[in-house]
């Protein structure tokens, strides 16, 4: 008896460890296995990146910054940073602050870091896009900065959020609730600083201010903003810990209100429907059962109406009780009957094409955004409205996701989701 109890305890522990590992692999902290495998030269690069030049909260050591920059250039020229995107981002930031003559531009190094993350790490790393967005932000390139942040959120949407990912949560929180609202606010106020009384330095920055001001009139900037929040909402779906709260919603409304209705309506929003679910979850079984019930009821009604064939040919004289999905079938049969009477032939009528799901017409020449998250799908009409409905947007963004999500990637057979990790289904 004692041996059997020990065996059962061992099996339960093994099962829980296996399931916890299956859940943890979708967390950003573990990068879904796409972590860096360092050789000796990359270890040296890691130590160089770990140099802390700060003397206090407001002062950095110039000597340490120069030492770090020269060492990273030495490693970069040797090719030791090819598989180290974050080190290339650090080098590009140092070069942006104090450029060295005869070296590559910081932007080209940032772009190489992004390509390295895509090539060697399956585009699972977030920080290369963060470094690139920071570069565009410092140079007041609003469209490219929003585009890089939206790319980072698009990578993040394939993960699940947990308390262990607090570091990357703070990054996105600061971007959404501080950096982006400040950037758009400065962009909106850019016209005021370009007046006639501007001094020489302000006149030199005037082309940059004009370019920043035009960002609020660019539908592509609004599209990048929507993609950014769509990635955050998708990151939250299926996660054991919620991401969004009322603070996020407040700054989202503030950022949306910076764009006029004419600009927002130039963006075509497409909602991506959920793919057919093949899991063995109970929720998917309920969905499949729900799909089976309607045809069974319709088949019984058809069997009852089958023997009386003359009555079936005239559906208008024998009204059938209304049922889900039945009205469209009667319309097609009546249309076919009218076609037969006009032609005088007994040929079977061809079924009319089923209408496609209602999607707004795509604006010619405007950007197209595909929503993957359920929360942003629910806000599709609110985002293109003439007036921003702040209350509805806040309710939609902070609502707890009650939709049972499918797994993001196929899992091996026998891989069952833990019951305490599931969100409760919303009963109709």
Tell me how far the alpha carbon of residue 387 is from its chain's centroid. Answer: 25
Is residue 311 in a domain?
A: no
CA angle 380, 125, 156 (to 5 degrees): 20
pLDDT tens digits for range 166-195 = 899 999 999 999 999 999 988 888 645 554
Domain membership flag for residue 414? yes
**pTM, two decimal places:** 0.68
Strand runs labelled E in 226-385: 268-271, 368-371
Please indicate, yes or no, if residue 388 is contained in any of the structural domains.
Answer: yes
Residues 6+ apart with CB under 8 A from 275: 406
Range of the domain at 214: 160-191+206-276+358-418
| Category of 178 on φ-ψ map: left (φ > 0), alpha (ψ -120 to 50) or beta | alpha
Q: For residue 69, what pLDDT is reported? A: 96
Residues in the chain: 428
* 1 in a structural domain: no
- pLDDT, one tens digit per residue, over 280-299 is 444 444 444 444 444 444 44
Q: Is residue 373 part of a domain?
A: yes
Asked if residue 122 is part of any domain, the answer here is no
- The string of pLDDT tens digits covering residues 42-59 is 999 999 999 999 998 889
- pLDDT value at residue 296: 43
Question: 383 with 226: CB under 8 angstroms?
Answer: yes
Could you tell me if residue 230 is inside a domain?
Answer: yes
End-to-end CA distance of the chain: 47
Rounded Cα distance between 106 and 221, Å, is 23
In a domain, 169, yes or no: yes
Q: For residue 349, give both structure tokens.
A: 């009528």
Sign of CA dihedral 257, 261, 262, 267: positive
pLDDT at 212: 56
What gap in Å lies between CA 169 and CA 149, rounded to an integer? Answer: 14
Give residue-wise pLDDT tens across range 4-34.
Answer: 666 566 555 544 444 445 455 567 767 777 7
Number of domains composing the chain: 1
pLDDT digits (tens, 9 = 90+) for 376-412: 999 999 998 999 999 999 999 988 654 444 444 444 4
């Amino acid at each position: 008896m004692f041996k059997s109890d020990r065996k059962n305890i061992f099996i339960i522990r093994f099962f829980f460890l296996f399931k916890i590992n299956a859940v943890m692999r979708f967390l950003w902290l573990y990068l879904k296995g796409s972590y860096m495998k360092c050789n000796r030269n990359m270890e040296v690069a890691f130590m160089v990146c770990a140099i802390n030049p700060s003397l206090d909260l407001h002062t950095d050591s110039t000597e340490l910054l120069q030492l770090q920059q020269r060492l990273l250039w030495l490693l970069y020229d040797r090719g030791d940073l090819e598989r180290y995107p974050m080190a290339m981002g650090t080098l590009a930031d140092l070069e942006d602050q104090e450029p060295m003559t005869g070296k590559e531009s910081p932007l080209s190094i940032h772009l190489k870091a992004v390509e390295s993350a895509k090539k060697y790490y399956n585009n699972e790393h977030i920080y290369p896009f963060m470094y690139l967005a920071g570069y565009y932000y410092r140079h007041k390139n609003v469209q490219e900065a929003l585009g890089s942040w939206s790319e980072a959120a698009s990578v993040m949407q394939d993960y699940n959020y947990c308390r262990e990912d607090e570091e990357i949560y703070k990054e996105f929180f600061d971007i959404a609730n501080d950096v982006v609202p400040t950037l758009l606010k400065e962009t909106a106020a850019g016209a005021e600083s370009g007046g006639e009384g501007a001094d020489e330095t302000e006149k030199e920055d005037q082309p940059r201010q004009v370019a920043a001001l035009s960002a609020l009139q660019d539908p592509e900037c609004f599209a990048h903003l929507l993609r950014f929040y769509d990635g955050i909402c998708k990151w939250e779906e299926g996660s054991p810990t919620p991401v969004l709260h009322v603070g996020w919603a407040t700054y989202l409304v503030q950022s949306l209100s910076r764009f006029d209705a004419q600009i927002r309506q130039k963006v075509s929003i497409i909602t991506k429907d959920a793919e057919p679910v093949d899991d063995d979850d109970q929720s998917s079984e309920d969905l499949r059962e729900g799909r089976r019930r309607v045809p069974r009821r319709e088949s019984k009604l058809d069997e009852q109406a089958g023997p009386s064939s003359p009555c079936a040919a005239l559906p208008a004289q024998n009204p059938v009780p209304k049922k889900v999905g039945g009205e469209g079938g009667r319309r097609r049969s009546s249309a076919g009957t009218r076609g037969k009477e006009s032609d005088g032939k007994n040929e079977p009528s061809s079924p009319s094409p089923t209408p496609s799901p209602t999607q707004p017409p795509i604006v010619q020449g405007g950007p197209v955004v595909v929503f993957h998250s359920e929360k942003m799908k629910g806000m599709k009409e609110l985002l293109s409205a003439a007036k921003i409905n702040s209350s509805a947007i806040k309710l939609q963004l902070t609502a707890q996701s009650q939709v049972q999500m499918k797994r993001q990637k196929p899992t091996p057979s026998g891989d069952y989701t833990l019951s305490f990790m599931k969100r409760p289904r919303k009963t109709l």
